Homo-oligomer: A and B are copies of this chain.
Amino acid sequence: MIELDAIDGQLLRALTRDAGQSAGALGRRLGLSQPATWRRIKRLEEAGVIHGRQLRLDAEKLGFGVTVFLGVKLALRGRVSLEDFERAVSAIPEVQTVEHVLGLYDYRLRVVARDVSDFERVLRRRVMTLPGVGDVEANVLLSEENLLGPLLV
């Protein structure tokens, strides 16, 4: 594990808000020179703390108005491997995230669809036919807020 001081925390906080700002502008606000700021960011990347930069897309603007979280419990455990399930679920284009979890469900899926009837198609023809699938529970996303998290306190 890497040692982070207060300035690293401030850098991560600022970059989490906007990953596209320049090292120079960032450093000026924190009272650091541009090369010093740049070296700190580089160090965080090399340590693996910063894993990369991800594009944030607006699903609605792309015509996907419905986002649903599915909790999936596997039946037939032992007869169907987790790898089979994961491979099949990863091949569904509407699935954005696959989370293997421990608890009431075995997997949590984030699924998008154009509308409710499109979601029904995905659910019936894609999800319910996955190998070993048992109970499925659905929650429709109304709104979502991403916070900084404690990584940065």
Contact = CB atoms under 8 A, between A and B. Distances in A.
Interface residues of A, number: 61
B54 A16 contact: yes
A40 to B, nearest CB: 14
B103 A140 contact: yes
Interface of A: 1-2, 4, 12, 15-16, 18-20, 47-59, 61-64, 69, 71, 86, 90, 93-105, 108, 112, 137-151, 153
27 contacts: A1-B61, A12-B55, A18-B52, A19-B53, A20-B53, A52-B56, A53-B54, A57-B149, A69-B101, A69-B108, A93-B150, A94-B150, A97-B147, A99-B141, A99-B143, A99-B145, A100-B141, A100-B142, A101-B140, A101-B141, A102-B140, A103-B139, A103-B140, A104-B137, A104-B139, A108-B139, A112-B150
